[in-house]
Amino acid sequence: MGKLPVVVKDGPGFVVNRLLVPYLIEAAWLLEDGMEIKKVDDLYKKKFGMPMGPFMLMDEIGIDVGVKVSKIFHQTLGDRIMIPNVMKKLAEGKRYGKKNKSGFYKYDERGKPTEPDESIYAELGLGTPTNKLSDKEIIERGIFPMVNEAALALIEERIVETPEEVDLAMITGTGFPAFRGGLLRYADTVGTQVIADQLEVYATQYGPRFKPSNPLRSMAKTNRTFY
């Protein structure tokens, strides 16, 4: 079948969706914070190495599906999954993404994305994007929550047994850039203490969705790595 299996324990989203949802939701928070769709997507694709940016990925998945799944995750994972108002408004306005050619992007007659739909900013009452956030913050706000969630799934809940399996799942299941070695290999490169400390900063600025998990804090105290 051309698939690589990863054995996981039952849990919300298993591995791939469990780690991907915080990343996608944070892109919507970045939109609320004045960031331009193209700026965010280009940064993740061209600078970080993702196969596509989070907004285009949400269009592919379906914005209505994303909202529905996020609500389920919020019920089970609590404040780590907070759904921004822009997502709810888009779903209510029947912007579902690629499937009805109405989402973060415009689509041609063949259903291929052409360019970001800039009418979204006025529709959501956001005004003209300011792009005030740094590239560093944009990347960290998307990637670090995935590391935080992975620490819980791997160390505390044992959803998956090894960091290698997490990275295999993220590379093959989401297109996480292989040259970075996978999510947790990348986390080790950055450093668990750096990630935990920066999550604390973002939690102070933006709320409890960034609060470092207990296993990540424990790793940071002793500067432990995932591998």
* Cα 222 to Cα 219: distance, rounded to the nearest angstrom: 6
* Cα 91 to Cα 13: distance, rounded to the nearest angstrom: 21
7-51 pLDDT, tens digit per residue, is: 999 999 999 999 999 999 999 999 999 999 999 999 999 999 999
100-132 pLDDT, tens digit per residue, is: 999 999 999 999 999 999 999 999 999 999 999
Q: Which residues lie closer than 8 Å to 2 by C-beta, 6 or more apart?
A: none
* Cα 26 to Cα 179: distance, rounded to the nearest angstrom: 23
Q: How far is CA 115 from the centre of its chain?
A: 21
Q: Tokens 């003209």 map to which residue?
A: 128
Quickly state the pLDDT bin for 138 (edges 50, 70, 90): very high
CB contact at 8 A, 40 and 52: no
Q: Which is nearest to 27 in space by CA: 5, 3, 56?
A: 56
Neighbouring-strand partners of residue 113 = 107
Neighbouring-strand partners of residue 102 = 97
Q: What is the DSSP letter of 211?
A: P
CB neighbour burial string for 150-170, b if at least 16 within 10 angstroms, e if fewer: bbbbbbeeebbeebebbbbbb
Q: Is the pLDDT of residue 73 over 90?
A: yes
pLDDT at 2: 85
DSSP 57-117: HHHHH-HHHHHHHHHHHHHHHGGGS---HHHHHHHHTT--BGGGTBSSEEE-TTS-EEEE-
Secondary element (H or E) of residue 73:
helix 63-77
Q: Is the pTM of this model over 0.85?
A: yes
As a residue count, the chain comes to 227
160-186 pLDDT, tens digit per residue, is: 999 999 999 999 999 999 999 999 999
CA distances from 107 to 3, 60, 113, 122 (A): 30, 12, 4, 19
pLDDT at 3: 86
